[in-house]
Amino acid sequence: MRIPRDLLRLYDEQLRTDAETPSAVSIARLGPLRLATFPGGRGFITYPHLRGVEAVDRLVPEALEHYRADPSIGRVEWKTRGHDNVPGLHEALVRHGFSPDDPESIMLGEAAALAVDVPLPEGVTLRRVTAEDDVRAMSAMSDEAFGESPSREMADALLRRLELGTGMQLWVAEADGRIVGAGRLEPVEGSDFAGLWGGAVLEPWRKRGIYRALTAARAREALALGKTLLHSDSTEYSRPILERSGLIKVSTTTPYMWRR
């Protein structure tokens, strides 16, 4: 088992690259920043590091102006990491209209540790989905599980990504013909990693092993694709489950959101 320091180094080296935005419509550069634009009017700002950047207060408005100039952009996420330690960044982001969301845990670990047999409740089955009706039903269930209104935009984005052939896999848990849990696997090209994203289970079905079973299925698929490491940005609900399965919290990530 790799130690947290080594895992964090691999995260910075392999994941904070263009591999982080494989389905972007366009990517512009501004110093160390990558300014990605996604379908649906969404901007996304990320970077490998901000070491040596002295004028953070100038960098933030310059990046934001890139998106302000495009009237189709309605919201922008600036993705920060807790271990970057950039003095003044929080203040600069807030001053220019960004609001921090809840921090999440950056979880990393060996895929083999999660690729185990997990018994499912009676009547629950897992399968990979690709058909449009299944993808839309999965997306609607995920919105419900997260307490959000159904979003056609998210389902459309998933379908576009399947068409692009990025290797993304969509997995669901079903009971009595209804989807009750779901999650994505996203292999990161040119790296040792695959990402675990969108893990969700409807409240009446939680604490019955479904989340762990979906995680195990995706871990097995990651290994089959030659990905030995897994990463996930986890809420406080999913973090303990992933920790018990063998992933390690190595840092935090906080999205700062700007809305037009």
Cβ neighbours around 6 below 10 Å, total: 12
Residues 25, 83, single domain; the answer is yes
Backbone angles phi, psi at 251, to 5 degrees: -170, -170
At which of 105, 129, 147 does a domain end? 105
- Structure confidence at residue 151 as a pLDDT band (50, 70, 90): confident
pLDDT confidence of residue 2:
67
Neighbours of 130 (CB within 10 A): 10
Count structural domains, the chain.
2
**Segments forming the whole domain that contains residue 37:** 15-105
Find out whether 197 and 97 touch, Cβ atoms under 8 Å: no
Q: How confident is the model at residue 1 (pLDDT cuts 50, 70, 90)?
A: low
Tens digits of per-residue pLDDT, 121-145?
999 999 999 999 999 999 999 999 9
Rounded to an integer, the average pLDDT of 103-111 is 96
Beta bridge partners of 249: 107
* pLDDT tens per residue across span 72-94: 999 999 999 999 989 999 999 99
**CATH number of the domain bearing residue 66:** 3.40.630
* Same domain as 224, residue 150: yes
Q: Does the pLDDT of residue 179 top 60, yes or no? A: yes
Is residue 19 very low, low, confident or very high in pLDDT (cuts 50, 70, 90)? confident
Lowest mean pLDDT among 21-25, 95-99, 118-122, 143-147: 21-25
| CB contact at 8 A, 195 and 188 | yes
In a domain, 202, yes or no: yes
Higher pLDDT, 165 or 105: 105
pLDDT of 39 above 90: no
- Residue 101 counted as domain residue: yes
Question: What is the mean pLDDT of the segment spanning 154-173?
Answer: 92
53 pLDDT tier (thresholds 50, 70, 90): confident
Mean pLDDT over the full length of the chain: 93
Q: Which residue in 39, 21, 30 sits closest to 66, CA to CA?
A: 30
- The pLDDT > 70 percentage for the chain reads 99
Does 2 fall in a domain?
no
Range among 9-23, 147-161, 214-228 rated most confident: 214-228
- The answer to the question of residue 215 being in a domain is yes
What's the CATH number where 206 sits?
A: 3.40.630.30
Q: 260 in a domain, yes or no? A: no
pTM to 2 decimals? 0.90
Please list, residue by residue across 28-64, b when 16 or more beta carbons sit within 10 angstroms of its beta carbon and e when fewer do: eeeeebbbbbbebbbbbbbbeebeebeebeebbeebb
Segment 207-253, tens digit of pLDDT = 999 999 999 999 999 999 999 999 999 988 889 988 988 899 999 99
Final residue of a domain: which of 105, 121, 139? 105
Q: What is the pLDDT of residue 145?
A: 94
pLDDT score, position 236: 86
Residues 91 and 136 in one domain: no
pLDDT at 188 over 70: yes
- pLDDT value at residue 255: 96
